[in-house]
Amino acid sequence: MSARMHGTPRGSTILFATLILATVATWGMGSLGVTGTWGVAILAAISFWKGAVVILDFMALRHAPLLWRAITMGWIIVVWALIAIAYIKGLAQ
pLDDT at 7: 77
pLDDT in tens, the chain (93 residues): 566 666 788 988 999 999 999 999 999 999 998 888 899 899 999 999 999 999 999 898 999 999 999 999 999 999 999 999 998 999 888
pLDDT at 74: 97
CB 76 within 8 A of CB 52: yes
* Rounded alpha-carbon distances, angstroms, from residue 70 to 15, 30, 73: 22, 31, 5
Tally: H helices and E strands in the chain: 4, 0
Residue 31 has, within 13 A of its CA and on its CB side, a CA count of 6
- Domains of the chain, residue spans: 3-92
pLDDT at 86: 93
